[in-house]
Structure 1
Amino acid sequence: MANSNHKSQITNPKSKLQGMKGGQASRSTSSGSATSMAELMAKAKTPPRAFKKGEIIEGTITKLTSVEILVDIGAKTEAVVLEKDKALLKNLLDKLRVGDKITVSVLNPESDLGYPVVSLRRFMENRVWEKIEKLVSGKADLEITITGITKGGFLARTDDEIGGFLPNSQTVFVEELESLVGSRIKAIILEAQRDTHKIIFSQKEAVNESDFEKIAASIKAGQTVKATVTNIAPFGLFVSIPSGDGFLEGLIHVSEVSWDKIDDLSKHFKLRDIVDAQIIDIDLREKRLNLSIKRLTKDPFDEMTKEYSLDKKFSLPVLKISDTGITVDLGNEITGIIKKEKLPPGFEAKEGQTIEIIVSGVDKRRRRVEFVPVLKAKPIGYR
Structure 2
Amino acid sequence: MTDTLSPSRDDFAALLDEQLQGRDLGEGQVVHGRVVGIEKDIIIVDVGLKTEGRIAAREFGIGEGAVIPKVGDNVEVYLERVENALGEAVISRDKARREEAWTRLEVVFADGQPVNGAIVGRVKGGFTVDLGGASAFLPGSQVDIRPVRDVGPLMGKEQPFQILKMDRPRGNIVVSRRAILEEARAEQRTELVGQLQEGEVREGVVKNITDYGAFVDLGGIDGLLHVTDMSWKRVSHPSQVLAVGDTVKVQIVKINPDTQRISLGMKQLQSDPWDGVEAKYPVGAKYTGRITNITDYGAFVELEAGVEGLVHVSEMSWTKKNVHPGKIVSTSQEVDVVVLDVDSSKRRISLGLKQAQNNPWDAFLETHPIGSTVEGEVKNATEFGLFIGLDNDIDGMVHLSDLDWSVSGEEAIQRYR
Q: Same fold (TM over 0.5)?
A: no
- TM-score interval w.r.t. the shorter chain? 0.3 to 0.5
> Normalised by the size of structure 2, how large is the TM-score?
0.40
- Higher-Rg structure is 2
TM-score by length of structure 1 reads: 0.43
